[in-house]
Structure 1
Amino acid sequence: MKKTAVYAALALAATLIGGVSNSPAATAAPTPAPAPQAADASAAARADALDGFKRHLAEEVARRLGDRRLRDALTHELAGDGEADLAALLGSVPGTQDLAAYARDANSQILKLKGIEAEGALLQIRIDPQSVERISAGGTLVMATPSGDEKTVRTVVAYGSNGHTQELDAFRAPQRPVLIVGLDEHKSAELAQQTIRRYLTEAGIGGTDRSAADEPQTSNSLATRPVSTVFRIVNRDDHEPWYKGGPEIYAWVAGAGLDGKARVDQVEMPYITKEGTVYSPGQSLIEWSNFSWTSVDVVFMEHDDNSDLSGLIRAVVDGVLTVAGYEKYVPVADKIVAALPSGWTKDDDDWVDSCYNINRQTTDVHCAAIPSGMSLVLAFHWL
């Protein structure tokens, strides 16, 4: 069973969240709502603001599907992987410049709400690639990804070009084409990783960030780098609804660095796209030369598009700093998870699983979640 977490903003990240103002109303007016304003740091207010931005954009896109120029742009930009930068797409269509400006403003506020101090286009529009050629004025619906906990969402609202709404099953994709207004979770995860690393560094916590793009590497007789790689991994607890796409899994490898201070390595795992699928990536998970301890802990997390990074940063800082100065292994993962407050019921970064006391000899990894969140087999190599 997944657990989610939110926390009061980390002091270092306090300036990331702006003050409260009005979120956009969901209307069918011919022009967008007033420019969005940042919401406060509470989970409910943040979720409401995010929902307002996405819902207004979805309604407006649906209302304008009668414009052949917009439909042509959607068909062209969504060809291939079925995803496109929403503001850029709208900006390329005559007559939708007002909505493009709103999307750009909303994107800036969403970055602040998520605690990301970076520039990047997060708002996107997507569709099942097999449905791109079927986009039409009367047969296509438009929806916004909801911010509620996906485990409790049973239906979602979609909008038609005639202004009518329709409820869709959250776990069964409809046969008719559905355009989805949401966030680019891969881009969001990338920017989030950069932000987390910056604040961990300011808190005195060392570490590196790695992704599958750095892999694979093969062992050789002259190698001097001890590494535990992912021989086999299965995500057993995803439950992402059809409109969300695949999970964005990442791991925190936590322990004491060579200087005796707390250390967290972040490892992105973008190849994990489906629940229950066996992956054998050969990815380096634990770089033993980075740690002074002979054992470390690994915490698996799943990135969701509405996460507020301040809670995650505070949790990992509070958890990992408690181990500084210990010469031998002490559990770190439970301290991190304990710092993830259980009251966060919105769709923020999910705790997937925690794996304890992993050493170089560990192959079959036993993790804590019940039911199991992650099944993991490691292989030790010299690289």
Structure 2
Amino acid sequence: MSSRHARPKLLAGALISVSTLAAVQLAAFPAAGAPAGTGAGDRAAASVPSSRAATAAAVGRVEDRTARALAASLADATWRSQVRDAVLADKQGDLRALTGRPAAAQAGKRLTSSLVSADRQIAAAKGLGADTGSLLRLRLAADSMRKDLKAGAVPLVAAAEADDHAKTITAYDSNGAAHTLDAGRTPDRPVYVLDIDESKALAAGMKVMRQEFGERGLTAPRASTTGSGFWTTRMTGVALSDDEEPWFKGDAEVYSLVTGFGSDGRVRVDPVEMPYLDKDGVVYHPNQILVNWSNYKYNLADVVMMEEDGSTNYRDLAKAIAGILLTIADQGAYIPLVNAVLDAIPDDWWTDDPDYVDSWYTLAKNDTGRRDGARSNGWMTLEPYYVQGL
């Protein structure tokens, strides 16, 4: 999945259903496309250094180094056969688990310690906890390569490229030689792609974001509703626009940030994982609770949908968002917060491969039916849903 859009020039308040709120919105935070020095994003950029480029570079170095080492290890025929069987059986295999198998060839076992170190370095670069565990996975670049791989062709190994617009990809053979591959054309020989388990990284990232938001008072626990139940908005359908991915990219992992004012009058952010939403052009029916209205003061909330593409530092992202949202005070009327969230994202996140997917302004407690995203990159079908108390 690819976002492939420039930073959106949102008209603050343009989608607000209550006209009196538009003036409040415009006064509270200028449009995302405002000139330097006028928007909340400029304040965020000044107070929280962007780390996207640094994260991408750090992760890329580790992946490239590991890809080269793995390619060299495939000179061992026994190990090469074990890796081949594992890749053919599992589309996205845990590389460290593969080298740690009791029956793994020595060529594979020798990679274990370096893989442990690589996983830790990647976790640190992405702002994840030291207990995240193995993150590197191995997959075949395309199903069209399976036949040649089964026939015994020796594969190349490439690290996944974070940039969707890359023209070439570097892959390594078992002799350590580098091969330059055309990023726009699927190779005619098998290629293993080494990248991050985005599903696992996303789960760990949501944990980090909840922790960061909680420490800053943005996810204060709601009052107990034991025995009384509460109203929610349930998402019964969701889809994103079709968008071709280059051959070297795997499925993306999507999450949403639900924002509004908590019952205490402070801005609240609730991260919502959407691990199933990994392909464009597919309609999913998750029946997932998107908004728990017992957490919010007003009957309106906003949703910003993002995607994990390997270059996200969750801790820095949470700090940047919190830094802006904490400056917004409850004015006694609902203020849409989508622009504030987008303005908090450092500018260089919007170049090449932005993580921003779409946004939904002013979701209402009683909304039913289809709601299209503000940038027309996705839609949801929603319904009120009452959760009975125990």
Q: Same fold by TM (over 0.5)?
A: yes
1:294 corresponds in structure 2 to 299
Query: Quick check: 1:235–1:276 contact (8 Å CA) kept in 2?
Result: yes
Query: Which of 147, 150, 155 is equivalent to 1:140?
Result: 155
CA distance in 1, matches of 2:335, 2:220: 18
Q: 1:298 offset after TM fit, Å?
A: 0.4
Q: Would the alpha carbon gap of residues 332 and 44 (structure 1) be closer, same or farther in structure 2, given more than 3 Å must change? A: closer
Q: Which amino acid aligns with 1:327?
A: G
**Deviations for 1:231-250, whole angstroms, at most 9, x for unmatched residues?**
32111165543322212111
CA distance in 2, matches of 1:252, 1:161: 44
356-365 or 104-113: bigger deviation: 356-365
CA distance in 1, matches of 2:309, 2:232: 29
Q: Which amino acid aligns with 2:272?
A: V
2:330 corresponds in structure 1 to 325
Q: Would the alpha carbon gap of residues 100 and 137 (structure 1) be closer, same or farther in structure 2, given more than 3 Å must change? A: farther
Per residue, is there more helix in 1 or in 2?
2
**Deviations for 1:354-381, whole angstroms, at most 9, x for unmatched residues?**
1111102333324322xx2222221223
Where does structure 1 lack aligned partners over 5 or more consecutive residues? 15-40, 209-221
1:278 corresponds in structure 2 to 283
SS of 2:207's partner is: helix
Q: Would the alpha carbon gap of residues 257 and 352 (structure 1) be closer, same or farther in structure 2, given more than 3 Å must change? A: same
CA distance in 1, matches of 2:298, 2:172: 55
Q: Counterparts of 1:198-237 in structure 2 under 5 Å? A: 198-206=211-219, 224-236=229-241
Q: Which amino acid aligns with 2:384?
A: F
Q: Which amino acid aligns with 1:112?
A: A
CA distance in 2, matches of 1:65, 1:346: 36
1:153 aligns with 2:158: no
Q: Which amino acid aligns with 2:56?
A: A
Query: Quick check: 1:75–1:132 contact (8 Å CA) kept in 2?
Result: no
Q: 1:125 offset after TM fit, Å?
A: 1.6
CA distance in 2, matches of 1:71, 1:93: 9
CA distance in 1, matches of 2:98, 2:46: 34
Report the identity percentage: 33
1:2 aligns with 2:5: yes
CA distance in 2, matches of 1:275, 1:343: 24
1:65 corresponds in structure 2 to 74
Query: Quick check: 1:233–1:279 contact (8 Å CA) kept in 2?
Result: yes
1:365 aligns with 2:379: no
Q: Which amino acid aligns with 1:365?
A: R
Q: 1:59 offset after TM fit, Å?
A: 1.7
Query: Quick check: 1:206–1:263 contact (8 Å CA) kept in 2?
Result: yes
Query: Which of 255, 260, 266 is equivalent to 1:255?
Result: 260
Q: Would the alpha carbon gap of residues 359 and 43 (structure 1) be closer, same or farther in structure 2, given more than 3 Å must change? A: closer
1:187 corresponds in structure 2 to 200
Q: Would the alpha carbon gap of residues 165 and 242 (structure 1) be closer, same or farther in structure 2, given more than 3 Å must change? A: same
Query: Which of 152, 155, 176 is equivalent to 2:189?
Result: 176
Where does structure 2 lack aligned partners over 5 or more consecutive residues? 8-40, 222-226
Query: Quick check: 1:185–1:304 contact (8 Å CA) kept in 2?
Result: yes
Q: Would the alpha carbon gap of residues 153 and 309 (structure 1) be closer, same or farther in structure 2, given more than 3 Å must change? A: same
CA distance in 1, matches of 2:370, 2:317: 28
CA distance in 2, matches of 1:54, 1:288: 42
Q: 1:292 offset after TM fit, Å?
A: 1.2
TM-score (norm 1): 0.78
